[in-house]
Every structure is written in structure tokens, then in C-alpha cells.
Amino acid sequence: MFCTVLTLLALSSPLCIKDDGPPEFCHDLDCPKYTVKDLSLGPDVELRSYEAGVWVSTNVQGVHYDKAVGTGFMRLFAYISGANEDMKKIPMTAPVRVELTPGQGPFCEDHFKVSFFVPFDMQESGPPAPVDSTLFVDPAAATDYYVLSYPGRTNEKEIIEKATSLVQALDEQKLPYDFSSFFAAGYDSPFRIFNRHNEVWVAAGAQPAAVAAEAAK
């Protein structure tokens, strides 16, 4: 489903603490720092400039979003619980970030990269190496993202709808972006009932959206 929607869109068309302190939705956890560059893009949409930061990630393929996130989360949770070369417990951070990349070719197998942000006190020295070969330390360059925020519990269908809505808004404003993949970010444990916060991130691109769409044909 995800692959099909992204294909149609193509043919038709990080650090989370702000300057004035951590956003409420980080719930006092370390989360990547950003500054807001533009708040005029529409309801619940902003352009953020994320600082370079280090994540620990794992790739999951051939399954639907919910199963991919569950598989990736459990690998990463084992890592921060002590399954690392230092046998060290590492504090939980936010968000759980998932990069969604559409599959290529006739079978259209989608690819998901699930990531935990590395705590601030390990950003410079680096986190302990994972003992699970499916995990890897994953530095991220400073990047600008268009971010759409929304509340409640979410799922693959809604994430795709939100990403679609964001990309359409960028197309309408003729803003450049890169939609070869995008990110879903969740900030809440499964046990939080109220005031849940979710985001989709689309990288700001160097070429106009219309040029990217033409190149995809």
C-alpha cells in the first residue's frame, strides 16, 4: 500500500529541542534539537532545521508498518537494556523514528529503518557498539524537514495520508522537497492515552517538486 501511494504521488506531482527548551511532547526525554525556520506553511506544518545527531538504527523489510516498527523497537529496546558491548543500560529517548522507503521493482517490497536517538551525553563520544548485527550506529547530517504534527494513536494508513497531505501542500506552494523516503516520528509509549503526538517529516529539497516529479516518470 505504502509503495503504491508513493508511486502515485511521484507521478502526480536529526537534534528535537527548540531554542526555548524542550517541547512538551518530548516528555523530558532527550530528543533531537531543532529550530523552526517557517511557521507559515499551513495548519500544524512547520519547516524545522535539525542539527546533526547520532541515532542507533535497524532495517526491516518485507512486512507491514506495524510489524516492522514492533520488530525494530524490540531490537533497539534490547540494545538500550544492555545488549551492547559495554553491557550498559541506556536511557530511553524520543522519538521512535521510522524512515519509510517505497520498494523498487515488480514486487514493491517496502523498506523501514527504525531508529532511537542517542542520549546527549553519548552524542560526541558515541554510543556502545551493538552486539546484534542487525543494529548499527547511524549518524545523521544536519537537515531541514517539513514537519506535519497530529494527535492520537496512528497507523500506516494515517501516516501515508498525512504524508500525502503534506506533499500536496508543498506542491501547491511550489516548495522543493525530497520524497524518495520520509519519516514517521512517534513520541509516546503505548500506555499513554491522552495528548499523544505524532509527526511526519519530509526533507526539504534542492530542486522544485515539479522537476522531481518529472524525473520520476
Q: Mean pLDDT of successive 10-residue segments in the chain (217 residues)?
A: 43 47 89 92 92 97 89 98 98 97 61 97 97 98 97 94 95 94 94 94 73 46
pTM for the whole structure: 0.85
Residue type, 136: F
Question: Which pLDDT value is given to residue 190?
Answer: 84
- Helices vs strands, H then E, count in the chain: 5, 9
In the block, residue with C-alpha cell 514537519:
147
How many separate domains does the chain show? 1
Question: Which pLDDT value is given to residue 22?
Answer: 78
Question: Which pLDDT value is given to residue 8?
Answer: 35
What CATH number did the domain enclosing 86 receive? 3.20.80.10
> Could you list the residue range(s) of the whole structural domain that residue 58 is in?
2-216
- Residue 11 is given by DSSP the state H
- Residue 41 is given by DSSP the state S
3-state secondary structure of 111: strand
Q: Which of 97, 104, 101 is nearest to 72 (CA)?
A: 97
Residue type, 149: S
Taking the C-alpha atoms of residue 172 and residue 77, their distance in angstroms, rounded to an integer, is 40
